[in-house]
Structure 1
Amino acid sequence: MSNLVSAERLSLMLGTRHILDSVSLGVSAGDRIGVVGRNGGGKSTLLRLIAGDGEPDSGRLTRTGGLTVGMLSQADSLDPGATIGDSVLRGRAEHEWAGDARIRDVMHGLLGDLEMSALGGHGTDVRSLSGGERRRIALARLLIDDPDLLLLDEPTNHLDVEGVQWLADFLVRRRTRPEHALVVVTHDRWFLDAVATLTWEVVDGRVESYEGGYAAYVLAKAERARLEAAAEERRNNLMRKELAWLRRGPPARTSKPKFRIDAANALIQGEPPARDEVALASFATSRLGKDVVDLLDATVTVGDRTILDKQTWRLAPGERTGIVGVNGAGKSTLLRAVSGDVPLQAGKRKVGRTVQLGFLTQEVRELAEVAGMTVIDAITDVRAYTTLDGKEVSASQLAKRLGFSGPRQQTRVASLSGGEQRRLQLLRILMTEPNVLLLDEPTNDLDIETLTSMEDVLDGWAGTLLVVSHDRYLLERMCDRQVALLGDGRIRELPGGVEQYLQLRHDQQQRTSRTAAAQGSSATGSSAGGSSGAASGSSGGSSGAGSGGLSAAEERQARKDLARAERTLNRLHEREQKLHDQLVEAASDHARAAELDRELRGVQEEQEAAELAWLEAAEKLG
């Protein structure tokens, strides 16, 4: 493959810190490169240099002649006075974009509810849109332009689970010309695995290269660490020998002792400084009783939208649940209903007596009251000491373990980066020692190293955890179960996890398309037929239950769903029977019996979900 971009010994300093230190690298045609590293480590800076937006202090960067480069930055560069259509299509004639399947795919995949405004080239002004909507427009415009080298800085921000999967599929399957290349900065580990064929880690001014996506990067980095540890062990053994000889040796009266002293000093001088590692620790939690938070026959509305419609949901002690859904489905509102911040229009919220609730919201408004404080004062404002692993730890010691070492502890909260503020926000919440933790998009502004550290502390956390996130990797890593909000006022269990959610959304969109097509068809028929068709479409859209008006395709799909649910129930019934038999045999082995009991409860939950699926399919068939 031809080389598109070559960088030789690039160096760039910010103040007294080396952002890039003699970095040499290249981007070849066909490369799909993921860039990872700590916040503030230089990832975005590297991307801007590759794009030609800025110059290094030293070194040389060359690009192939005629190379087209497009970059999605984290800053909003759209014209606020332009319409959606003008911003996305850049004046393309209707026949040009309407006849291009790739452009239509981008508009449908990224714009969604904004698509109708964009199609006519007019519609809403950009200034009236949210930050997330503007970012989707900028990404859509870039993908439609289709440059040779695509540079994306955090493209999954503001995309839901479906949007992330669509973008990954598009970048892998649609951008297949030999001269195409991609460099993407992201903290979304699932996205990295799905897209990247090469991973760059920006660390301490260097760029380390690894073959493959996130999983391969973790494995390769672990192997490098193992080899470095072995080399370091040999080095330390040599150092100990040298120092022991110096202690035993006579005063330096000949050249031989001086030589040995110089050798030992060289060894000591070569010791690398300790890295500022982010290390989270397990926090003590008060014991939960059997009652946590229950929403009983709850109804929650926001404006004219119904988020929950007479739903009952009980959180259990130690439950770890992830919530997925499209943007605007009400996931954050559901968390606020659980926390009590949003009142119920009907039903009841019941809270256990021992519950101590911590809530990490998407905004860092909790830090507004401490914006003028230093980091250390913001931590001691909550608690000066806490107990970790049976030992009393001061706020200063804890701040160091969270990466706020040295002068950073004296930095004003208002001057911290977004990732640092998010880390401080989480720390202050954990310092209150909650036993029920609600996390609303906890991955926002966190780098992968901090994410894995956060997951590590929550792995051993004994409380109840409720997480809203578009980060598929985090949901599957941290949560034992997932539920979905599909916009119909129900909380749906997802025994099949995120994959099942994506299938449900696909089926929902297919039904919507068929209903719209049926309504359009009936509108061109006779008035009597149109009336009948409209009634049928209305019935199908409102309840999803069959009323004798199913199309042949819908009936076939319902029968397939029914058969699938029956097979699942038969399999689960057999598994349940085997578990009962194993429980009888393990009656004297308490540990084994507890493990089997947990597995049995999981099977019973899957049975309930399968029974609901069977009932839904049976209702459609009448």
Structure 2
Amino acid sequence: MPPPASLVALDRAHLLAGTQVLLDDVSVGVSDGDRIGVVGRNGGGKSSLLGVVVGTRTLDGGRIVRTGGVTMGMLGQTDELDPAATVAEVVLGDLAEHEWAGEPRVREILAGLLGGTDASALGGWDRQVGPMSGGERRRLALAALLVQDPDLLVLDEPTNHLDVEGVAWLAAYLSARRPRQGNALLVVTHDRWFLDAVSTRTWEVEDGEVHVYDGGYAAYVLARVERQRVAQVTEERRANLARKELAWLRRGAPARTAKPRFRIDAANALIEGEPDPRDTVELVRFATTRLGKDVLDLLDATLRVGDRTLLDRVTWRIGPGDRYGVVGVNGAGKTTLLRALQGLHPLATGKLRTGKTVRIAVLTQELRELDRLTGRTVLDAITEVRSFTVIGGKEVSASSLAQRLGFSGGRQQSRVGDLSGGERRRLQFVRLLMDEPNVLMLDEPTNDLDIDTLTSMEDVLDGWAGTLLVVSHDRYLLERMTDRQVALLGDGTLRDLPGGVEQYLELRRGMRDRDEPAGRAAPASGVASGGAASGGGAPGGGAGYSPAEVREARKTLARVERALDRIHAEEAVLHDAMAAASTDPQRLSELTGTLARLTEQEESLEMEWLEASEAAQG
């Protein structure tokens, strides 16, 4: 089979931003069928790289080759929509109604991003762009680009302003619906779940270089750790040789040396025996010591905003050490719920009970609280709160915590007024932790943060003993940082989600299919809703399986379990092969790609097992 055709290729590309080198002798390319996720630190050159690909940035050296006839379209981080234009003019352009209405692909885009062929989610086809919110304009620009359907689709942070459902729809469309011969995708995002769902390759922009990996985020993390390990082994070898050379020179005579032997471990061996990210039992014990048994209780609470009822007679007991993620569509009232738990938004009925020792801190979406500190250094802004705190049972200095969250020694002396948006967000988080709260609320914490910073934030919170509430559209972060998730479904309930975000998406799909609000669900432990309760399983599940369906489900379980055993055996063989090939980058890349494909099969089988297990129980 001939290799995929190249659409765009950079040859020894060099790009500067002032004195900073963004690209240093970089040679990479986008080929037919590629779906490439671009990751790296904020300010490292990801957006500039996209600009070079589409031609909005000019190289300072090297060259770029674009295949003739290839069409390109880019979604930037800021839109340039005409405020006077209507929704129809932006999305459909000159297309006649019979042209787009008869095209299934266009109808799918309109349904996924605009609420249907009447653009109901944006207020109809005749609505003007000018008064729209940033999130609405983002959906509009994205829908317009997908309708145009260029050969090379370039997206810079496309998940910004999209809710969990929107992100899931976009991932499904880009990975399953859009691919065809002659097209490709290049996307910058900090949404790790989205990267894993969409990408077949990953580019890491770091210190002027672009490292290329096969697979999505999970495969990238594995391969990056292996690359770092190999680099460390190489550096240790060089250091050992230098020491031996120095010893020989000091002795003044040749010395026999044996060739050093290094044990090459597979990437999975690096995490063998690694404990769970959090010692939940120990953290709850610490949290109970700090908080007591009572933290925050909503008792038979009704919460309203204007004429809308967000909660209708809901009881929610939040205990010491609980870690909840809150999901819901935009406008469902997630931020208002956090404000109600702080006592800042009054309840229509019911009661909020707050423990006597509770100290709440909130990471809001506003950065204005740092305005008064613009003339001070980062370290001064942190030590103003406290110089030392305790995380993971150990005393941590302000400087050490700042270092863990991306403020190097030199950057700690920078003025707050000179910080980027992402750095100000990090500083805001460090100051919150230094204040030693025992209840922490994070409202959309991923805004302006790159993947490395998010990973560092999660690592710090793994050792933080307290109660955590997180509102986010970032599925990966929710499931990594919290132990349980709850959903605001817009029907007055607060639904516990034992099945996580995937269960929430199933509930929303069921609501859309029925075209009516979901019925009240039986609450799980810790969450209760007033009113009559119906079956509490997944939508449409539970009662009514025939004996034949139960038997078939049990056969499916047996088949899937055999297939999973086979995949696990193949994964073990692959890991051994990766260990043997760790010094052969090309072979390691091939094996990593095979492992990524096996992982996809494993995830699909696990989902099939979960669906069958419900029916198998009758």
The normalised TM-score by structure 2 is 0.76
| 2: CA distance, partners of 1:503 / 1:238 | 59
How far has the Cα of 1:396 moved from its partner? 3.8
Which residue of the partner structure matches residue 239 of structure 1? 242
Question: Is the contact made by 1:441 and 1:469 (CA closer than 8 Å) also made in structure 2?
Answer: yes
Matched residue count: 506
5 Å-filtered alignment, 1:570-581, equals none
1:6-50 per-position Cα deviation (integer Å, ceiling 9, x unaligned): 101111122222111111001001100000111111100000000
Unaligned runs of 5+ in 1: 251-255, 258-280, 516-542, 547-556, 569-612, 614-622
Is it true that 1:55 corresponds to 2:36 in the alignment?
no
Q: 1:118–1:86: structure 2 CA closer, same or farther, 3 Å change rule?
A: farther
| 1: CA distance, partners of 2:517 / 2:386 | 58
Question: Is the contact made by 1:361 and 1:441 (CA closer than 8 Å) also made in structure 2?
Answer: yes
| 2: CA distance, partners of 1:483 / 1:326 | 12
How far has the Cα of 1:227 moved from its partner? 1.9
How far has the Cα of 1:163 moved from its partner? 0.7
How far has the Cα of 1:325 moved from its partner? 0.8
Which one of 328, 343, 363 corresponds to residue 366 of structure 2? 363
Find the residue that maps to 1:8 and give its secondary structure.
Answer: strand
| 1: CA distance, partners of 2:117 / 2:449 | 29
Q: 1:545–1:92: structure 2 CA closer, same or farther, 3 Å change rule?
A: farther
5 Å-filtered alignment, 1:157-556, equals 157-249=160-252, 287-387=290-390, 394-512=397-515
Matched letter for residue 430 of structure 1: L
How far has the Cα of 1:562 moved from its partner? 2.5
Which residue of the partner structure matches residue 562 of structure 1? 543
Which residue of the partner structure matches residue 29 of structure 2? 26
Matched letter for residue 338 of structure 1: L
Worse-superposed segment, 187-196 or 398-407:
398-407
Find the residue that maps to 2:337 and give its secondary structure.
Answer: helix
Is it true that 1:8 corresponds to 2:28 in the alignment?
no
1:230-283 per-position Cα deviation (integer Å, ceiling 9, x unaligned): 222212211221233444459xxxxx99xxxxxxxxxxxxxxxxxxxxxxx999
| 1: CA distance, partners of 2:302 / 2:116 | 26
Worse-superposed segment, 146-155 or 123-132:
123-132
How far has the Cα of 1:135 moved from its partner? 0.7
| 2: CA distance, partners of 1:146 / 1:482 | 36
| 1: CA distance, partners of 2:246 / 2:540 | 79
1:539-571 per-position Cα deviation (integer Å, ceiling 9, x unaligned): xxxx9999xxxxxxxxxx998542479999xxx
Which one of 122, 137, 155 corresponds to residue 158 of structure 2? 155
How far has the Cα of 1:386 moved from its partner? 3.5
1:499-523 per-position Cα deviation (integer Å, ceiling 9, x unaligned): 11111101111111799xxxxxxxx
How far has the Cα of 1:153 moved from its partner? 0.3
* RMSD value, Cα: 3.2
Matched letter for residue 472 of structure 1: R
Is it true that 1:99 corresponds to 2:99 in the alignment?
no
Which residue of the partner structure matches residue 578 of structure 2? none
Q: 1:345–1:114: structure 2 CA closer, same or farther, 3 Å change rule?
A: farther
| 2: CA distance, partners of 1:319 / 1:364 | 27
Question: Is the contact made by 2:386 and 2:435 (CA closer than 8 Å) also made in structure 1?
Answer: yes
Q: 1:120–1:75: structure 2 CA closer, same or farther, 3 Å change rule?
A: closer
Question: Is the contact made by 1:84 and 1:118 (CA closer than 8 Å) also made in structure 2?
Answer: no
| 1: CA distance, partners of 2:220 / 2:299 | 46
Find the residue that maps to 2:291 and give its secondary structure.
Answer: coil
Q: 1:514–1:37: structure 2 CA closer, same or farther, 3 Å change rule?
A: closer
Which residue of the partner structure matches residue 73 of structure 2? 70
| 1: CA distance, partners of 2:314 / 2:31 | 53
Matched letter for residue 24 of structure 2: D
Q: 1:82–1:56: structure 2 CA closer, same or farther, 3 Å change rule?
A: same
Which residue of the partner structure matches residue 573 of structure 1? none
Matched letter for residue 486 of structure 1: L
Matched letter for residue 178 of structure 1: Q
How far has the Cα of 1:474 moved from its partner? 1.3
| 2: CA distance, partners of 1:19 / 1:559 | 52
Matched letter for residue 362 of structure 2: F
| 2: CA distance, partners of 1:90 / 1:417 | 37
Find the residue that maps to 2:512 and give its secondary structure.
Answer: helix
| 1: CA distance, partners of 2:539 / 2:326 | 26
Instruction: Name whichever structure is richer in helix by fraction.
Output: 1
How far has the Cα of 1:393 moved from its partner? 5.2
Q: 1:112–1:68: structure 2 CA closer, same or farther, 3 Å change rule?
A: same
Q: 1:13–1:347: structure 2 CA closer, same or farther, 3 Å change rule?
A: same
Matched letter for residue 346 of structure 2: P
Which one of 39, 42, 47 corresponds to residue 39 of structure 1? 42
Matched letter for residue 370 of structure 1: L
Unaligned runs of 5+ in 2: 256-277, 519-530, 551-613
| 1: CA distance, partners of 2:509 / 2:96 | 31
Question: Is the contact made by 1:86 and 1:121 (CA closer than 8 Å) also made in structure 2?
Answer: no
The normalised TM-score by structure 1 is 0.76
